[in-house]
Structure 1
Amino acid sequence: MEKDTRAWSENDLGVLTLPSGRLIRGRGLRRPLDPAAPTPAYALYLLGRRPPASSWESRWVHWPDFRLPADHDDARAALTEAWRRAADERVEIACAGGRGRTGTALACLAVLDGVPPTEAVAFVRHHYDPRAVETPWQRRYVRRFGVSGEAQGRG
């Protein structure tokens, strides 16, 4: 089977356009995939337990619901890889509901893309979902993500 190399469309459900033009789809895994929508080339799953296997390449970060990633260094590496790959691949970021952990990750990607850490949550809420990044510690994690080489938001 030939690999589908089409990019996301800015009009696809859940797609966030970063300032650099990178397109990344955020998604809640509780909602089924639209069979007409393209599948990701690469996905980053932010869940409290390992996700089921998929037909595309993926990475899992242990990140319990309403919390922060269990390993901040692993999360930073995974988010950086997703941001880099989004330059020329269809990248999806997903958690169960698609708002808290996914929104937090998208805000971190916005920081990597040049959005100031103090503005990244507002950026994601405006361009992705008004209820993204659900908890105070998730908001603090995003602010601290851009402060140093490590995300140090512990909550």
Structure 2
Amino acid sequence: MRHVSDWTLDDGSVMLNFSDEVRRVFENNVQLGDSPESGGILLGTVHEPGLLVTVATTPSRLDRQFRYLFERLPFGHRAVAKRLWRASNGTTRYIGEWHTHPQDIPTPSGIDLDEWRKLARMRADKLPLLAVIVGREALHVELAHGNGHRDLLRPY
């Protein structure tokens, strides 16, 4: 798999791991040719001092997919999150969002940044939102805070 599994902040204060299953979802949705953007939510467990991302939902038939836009509608994704929350007695939780870009090395758009800030502000647990963009050759991984602050994670 081309996408790295382990990520950290520069100061090592946060460690992040994507399970092999999540990395497979990323690989299977890389935008090649004229394929549309894909995306979903990220679910996993929170540990001190890190995150283990174990599930990445994939687009549902209700989501809107275009070459340069992915609009995730909550219905199918929310049901998966609730089911896993209950099955894990509350340990598997919503961690963040992922989507693709048709770029080798992806960078967030202004729309991405605005959406991430909005979603981070809405989090009941007040934790930052994990935001991932899947590119053809690399990932963009950051923690987005509700106040607009952003922490870029780097491969570990």
Q: Same fold (TM over 0.5)?
A: no
Q: TM-score, normalised by structure 1?
A: 0.31
Give me the TM-score of the superposition, normalised by structure 2: 0.31
